[in-house]
A and B are shown apart, each in its own frame.
Chain A
Amino acid sequence: MPNVKISLRQLTIITALFMIGTAILIVPSALAVKAKQDAWIAALIGIGIGSLILALQLLLSRLYPDMNLVQISEKLLGKWLGKSVCFLLLLILFLGGPVAVLQEIGTFLTVQIMPETPIQAIIILFGAIVLMGVRLGLEVLARSAELLFPWFLLLFLSLSILLFSQVKWENALPILEQGPGPLIPAVCSFISIVYLPNMILLMIFPASVNRQSEANKAVFIGSLIGSLILLLIVILSILVLGPTITEKTMYPSYLLAQKINIGNFLQRIEVIMAVMWFITLFFRISFYFYATVAGYCQIFNIKNIQPLVIPLGWILTTLAVFIYPNVMFEHNWEARTWTPFSFIFGLLFPLLLLGLHGIRKIRSKGAPKKSRFPE
């Protein structure tokens, strides 16, 4: 791996932007479908459970501070088993991660803004920018994230403030109408969209961070920023649009931006607001892609990721065009395949690695004890 270092603040921003990613567009409706007006409770619980899972993932990086995910699993599972498990996981992650997000931005633009533009045009243009970013490397991506994050925050805060006058508190009532049952699938989808894919960030940190000891804290703060922003967008959707509209629309946050109307004067600014989603989606795709490419390099012992970027980028863009035959297939795939997979990748996999680590530790602890016996 090339020796690149990013700062802690950059790591925080990367984590936040990566988590917000596509979630800011789809999370409100994904939660409202199941939990209705209690979507915000589901998000809140999701943040709690998600933070625990994140802590679990971070524990791995604390135990092996100078290794990335593939190296850790190679060490714990053995060289060949570790490589092949990682290869398979990264393969599916590649389909469900960068490819799906890239096609999501194509769908978003063709559904909401430019319905007659072929999706290829959008995907190729956006894919080209992602390729450029990833080819230039982690440092460039991290710095551009640092530059663009204030703009994202500015847009997001103006969206929230401008909508505040349209909040209807009774939309959130009654709390827990159908009991806590429907919250469970909603919490699951929140975690699987927002928290579990964070595992892939272990490809980037702590190995590439300049102050490794504080990297975990930086990631944690980033995840809190990201999830609070998502919680806020869920609350806004429920309070402004109501649960029915939130549930039925594809992109509730875009509808929220459409609702902005201050005195019949400050209105129709949703396309400006869409810049916000371009920023977060760009970083979601880029870091997903960067991490998978870096993972493959590690698996095949390639020193430099640059030669792989372009060929894998071709695959990324072409797949993004036709991976889903239609929108409903995509929704089904996300619910039935992606959610279980993300639990395997983000929860079971680190648990397995931690378990193996534990077993090793017990064994190695047993060994020195024996050696002490002769005294």
Chain B
Amino acid sequence: MKRILGLLLLTLAASFLLSGCWNRRELNELGIAVAAGVDKVGDKYRLSVQIAIPGQVASKKVGSPQAPATLFTSEGDTLFEAARRMSQSSPRKIYFAHLRMFIIGESLARQGIAEVLDLLFRDHEFRTDFYFAVSKENTAEETLKIMTPIETIPANKLFTSLQTSEKIWSPTKAVTLDELINDLSSKGKHPVLTGLEIRGDKNIGEKKINVENIYTPSHLVYSGFAVFKSDRLIGWLNEKESRGYRLILGDVKSSVNHVKCRDQGKVVLETLRTSAKVKGSMVKSRPHINIRFSAEGNVGSVECSGLDLTKPETIQKLETEMEQMTVRLIETVIQKVQTEYKVDIFGFGEAIRRSNPKAWKSMKEDWDERYFPNLPVHIQVDYHIRRTGTISDSFLNEIRETR
């Protein structure tokens, strides 16, 4: 009897204790934020949050009236207040753990992004795996309004497109929160973030018409890096410079470049593996940087005739040309940043700190003003062409002979 009573009490207690927790969040009570954007309007933050509409993504019916995602905006003195104020317009509590993109408006980026980042780092809902981008010229809000084809949720398009272009082309870089905070708190490296542009008419881009045509009149394009001086945006790199920047970082997985071929055409080389070692050293109490860049590639395409790829000397010549080209790419971006922006975005200061922490201690306070602009950088490039694709010599050679 006692035993049965005890068991009964236990089940009763268990049904109270195990039925759920305070923090339960049912899927149908959450608005899943996939992208967020922040702008500054006056001295207030304007937060725009793109929320996926699950039913619209999954449904197969054509011509459903609703877009696959929706955008809520709100303003607040602080970002957190703006985020909570959003509940006035959003029917569900906004859940940030599945955020994929965080877009920073250019105007806010110019005023400084550090204050915004603290919330993202502190709040438990934000993870560190979403990517950052700076919306160039437009506000973050406008950027998040553009409809995109194929990936119906724009945030997914932004996420995957950034990942892919980082992997196979190289003027972009997917920066996560922890990397950004590491760069911001380091004295020897300033952060860069990828820029995001709206190409075409943004007024059409907001409408469904945009994805109803085969050619979308307006689309979102990543373009070049935004250069930051600690947390303030001070300028942009163009595509070529951005690629040079990525080469210095040495994390390029794959990319293509062309070199001149016998003064009349082009040969494209497909780079497949790269590594860059940035070493700092002190020579006569002056900091020096040595970059050792090595890469492997294939001949990707030949757009000229008369090039005899069967000869090893030709391959050697192409390698030298490519090496010179790479040195130029790297030199251009270093020179531009040294003369125009005067902020160390390459982590050269970090390299000095790693190799000679004592010397770095005396230099770190005026590294950007005094040392970095005149820093001698020695570049050594080693390029190996391994294969020539599925054919050896180009058939273009035959065409020229019969002409």
Interface residues of B in 330-368 (CB under 8 A from A): 350, 353-357
Q: Which residues from chain B contact A5 at a C-beta distance below 8 Å?
A: none
Q: How many A-B residue pairs have CB under 8 A?
A: 53
Which 8 residue pairs across A and B have the least CB separation, nearest first? A117-B22, A114-B23, A173-B354, A177-B357, A174-B357, A244-B185, A174-B354, A242-B182
Judge whether A125 is part of the interface by a CB distance below 8 angstroms: yes
Interface residues of A in 239-265 (CB under 8 A from B): 241-242, 244-245, 248, 255, 258-259, 261
- Is the CB–CB distance between B178 and A245 below 8 Å? yes
Judge whether B284 is part of the interface by a CB distance below 8 angstroms: no
Q: Which residues from chain B contact A267 at a C-beta distance below 8 Å?
A: 129
Interface residues of A in 307-344 (CB under 8 A from B): none
- Is the CB–CB distance between A113 and B124 below 8 Å? yes
Specify the chain A residue showing the minimal Cβ separation from B352.
A174
Judge whether A356 is part of the interface by a CB distance below 8 angstroms: no
Q: Please report the C-alpha to C-alpha distance between residue A261 and residue B174 in the assembled complex, in whole angstroms.
A: 15
Judge whether B17 is part of the interface by a CB distance below 8 angstroms: yes
Q: Which residues from chain A contact B22 at a C-beta distance below 8 Å?
A: 114, 116-118, 121
Q: Give the Cβ gap from B13 to chain A, nearest Cβ, in Å.
A: 10
Q: Which residues from chain A contact B121 at a C-beta distance below 8 Å?
A: 248
Judge whether B216 is part of the interface by a CB distance below 8 angstroms: no
Sort chain B's interface into a size bin: 20 to 34
Q: Please report the C-alpha to C-alpha distance between residue A13 and residue B399 in the assembled complex, in whole angstroms.
A: 77
Judge whether A147 is part of the interface by a CB distance below 8 angstroms: no
Specify the chain B residue showing the minimal Cβ separation from A258.
B127
- Is the CB–CB distance between A174 and B353 below 8 Å? yes
Judge whether A275 is part of the interface by a CB distance below 8 angstroms: no
Q: Give the Cβ gap from B318 to chain A, nearest Cβ, in Å.
A: 32
Q: Please report the C-alpha to C-alpha distance between residue A125 and residue B19 in the assembled complex, in whole angstroms.
A: 13
Q: Give the Cβ gap from A181 to chain B, nearest Cβ, in Å.
A: 13
Specify the chain A residue showing the minimal Cβ separation from B358.
A177
- Number of residues from A at the complex interface, CB < 8 A: 27
Interface residues of A in 104-128 (CB under 8 A from B): 111-118, 121, 125
Q: Please report the C-alpha to C-alpha distance between residue A116 and residue B185 in the assembled complex, in whole angstroms.
A: 31
- Is the CB–CB distance between A115 and B129 below 8 Å? no
Q: Which residues from chain A contact B21 at a C-beta distance below 8 Å?
A: 114, 117, 121
The contact string, 1 if C-beta is below 8 Å from chain B, for chain A 112-148, is 1111111001000100000000000000000000000
Judge whether A375 is part of the interface by a CB distance below 8 angstroms: no
Q: Which A residues have a C-beta under 8 Å from some C-beta of B?
A: 111-118, 121, 125, 170, 173-174, 176-178, 241-242, 244-245, 248, 255, 258-259, 261, 267-268
- Is the CB–CB distance between B355 and A174 below 8 Å? yes
Judge whether B186 is part of the interface by a CB distance below 8 angstroms: yes
- Is the CB–CB distance between B354 and A115 below 8 Å? no
The contact string, 1 if C-beta is below 8 Å from chain A, for chain B 117-141, is 0000100100111000000000000
- Is the CB–CB distance between B129 and A258 below 8 Å? yes
Q: Which residues from chain B contact A121 at a C-beta distance below 8 Å?
A: 21-22
The contact string, 1 if C-beta is below 8 Å from chain A, for chain B 175-209, is 00010011001100000000000000000000000
Q: Please report the C-alpha to C-alpha distance between residue A261 and residue B356 in the assembled complex, in whole angstroms.
A: 34
Contact of B186 among A176, A178, A244 (CB under 8 A): A244
Q: Which residues from chain B contact A170 at a C-beta distance below 8 Å?
A: 350, 354
- Is the CB–CB distance between A244 and B127 below 8 Å? no
Specify the chain B residue showing the minimal Cβ separation from A170.
B354
Q: Which residues from chain B contact A117 at a C-beta distance below 8 Å?
A: 21-23
Q: Please report the C-alpha to C-alpha distance between residue A177 and residue B353 in the assembled complex, in whole angstroms.
A: 8
- Is the CB–CB distance between A245 and B353 below 8 Å? no
Q: Give the Cβ gap from B170 to chain A, nearest Cβ, in Å.
A: 19
Q: Give the Cβ gap from A193 to chain B, nearest Cβ, in Å.
A: 24
Interface residues of B in 283-340 (CB under 8 A from A): none
Q: Give the Cβ gap from A239 to chain B, nearest Cβ, in Å.
A: 13
Q: A255-B128, A259-B178, A268-B127 are in contact. List 20 more A-B contacts (CB 8 A).
A: A111-B124, A114-B21, A114-B23, A115-B124, A116-B22, A118-B22, A125-B17, A174-B353, A174-B357, A177-B353, A178-B357, A242-B178, A242-B182, A244-B182, A245-B182, A248-B181, A255-B178, A258-B128, A259-B129, A267-B129
Q: Which residues from chain A contact B129 at a C-beta distance below 8 Å?
A: 258-259, 261, 267
The contact string, 1 if C-beta is below 8 Å from chain A, for chain B 234-247, is 00000000000000
Q: Please report the C-alpha to C-alpha distance between residue A261 and residue B181 in the assembled complex, in whole angstroms.
A: 19
Specify the chain B residue showing the minimal Cβ separation from A37.
B354
Interface residues of B in 11-61 (CB under 8 A from A): 17, 21-23
Specify the chain B residue showing the minimal Cβ separation from A178.
B357
Specify the chain B residue showing the minimal Cβ separation from A171.
B182
Q: Please report the C-alpha to C-alpha distance between residue A261 and residue B124 in the assembled complex, in whole angstroms.
A: 18
- Is the CB–CB distance between B354 and A244 below 8 Å? no
Q: Which residues from chain A contact B353 at a C-beta distance below 8 Å?
A: 174, 177
Q: Please report the C-alpha to C-alpha distance between residue A351 and residue B186 in the assembled complex, in whole angstroms.
A: 45
Interface residues of B in 119-174 (CB under 8 A from A): 121, 124, 127-129
Specify the chain B residue showing the minimal Cβ separation from A115.
B124
Q: Which residues from chain B contact A261 at a C-beta distance below 8 Å?
A: 129
Q: Which residues from chain B contact A125 at a C-beta distance below 8 Å?
A: 17
9 chain-A/chain-B pairs, Cβ below 8 angstroms: A111-B124, A121-B22, A173-B354, A174-B356, A174-B357, A242-B182, A244-B185, A258-B129, A261-B129
Q: Please report the C-alpha to C-alpha distance between residue A271 and residue B22 in the assembled complex, in whole angstroms.
A: 17
Q: Please report the C-alpha to C-alpha distance between residue A71 and residue B6 in the assembled complex, in whole angstroms.
A: 39
Q: Please report the C-alpha to C-alpha distance between residue A255 and residue B182 in the assembled complex, in whole angstroms.
A: 15
Specify the chain B residue showing the minimal Cβ separation from A260.
B129
- Is the CB–CB distance between A244 and B128 below 8 Å? no
